[in-house]
Structure 1
């Protein structure tokens, strides 16, 4: 018997090239923990890293928490995190959480 809920698609991180990463899948609480430290090396170099979210299927506040943590890590290393393709669902969570100013280019 189906509950009607879609199965969680694993969240993935892909390195597209120097300073370019892409997230895909479901950035939800069940999938985000596996990615928490996945970009640490990329974000520690003091460079601007562009993160594409075009492949994100769905997201919740855990996905937003991941982005905020990665932004913190990038800034701690003297760099910056830029987002592209931010899904409307995540944009709405950032706005209602008053975190949208952290990602002005998103």
Structure 2
């Protein structure tokens, strides 16, 4: 099983490495949203994501919800094509967080 790691590179800049899948996302991952409170602006870089499934999209949606609760400006970069395809299938690609990436 590929592990999921979220690492802060610089203040407000995080890199996600590994798999965004049902087998790698667990309760610990879901409960670890405190990083979204660490800065007024957070950027999550997904370039090092190896594989993803609908659980990865669900996690991104949850990050968006939580960032709104914390009044944190959230951005994603280097969103994997596989994740963009899932977003398109679900109609989530029109969301402001993904709209630029799907053009």
Q: Is the TM-score greater than 0.5?
A: yes
Calculate the TM-score normalised by the size of structure 1: 0.84
Aligned mate of 1:37, from 31, 36, 50: 31
Aligned partner of 2:18 in structure 1 is 25
Calculate the TM-score normalised by the size of structure 2: 0.86
Instruction: Give, in angstroms, the shift of residue 46 of structure 1.
Output: 6.4
> Number of aligned pairs?
98
Ranges of 4+ aligned residues in structure 1 off by more than 6 Å: none
| Stretch of structure 1 that moved more, 56-65 or 94-103 | 94-103
CA distance in 2, matches of 1:98, 1:72: 17
Q: Who wins on radius of gyration, i.e. which is larger?
A: 1
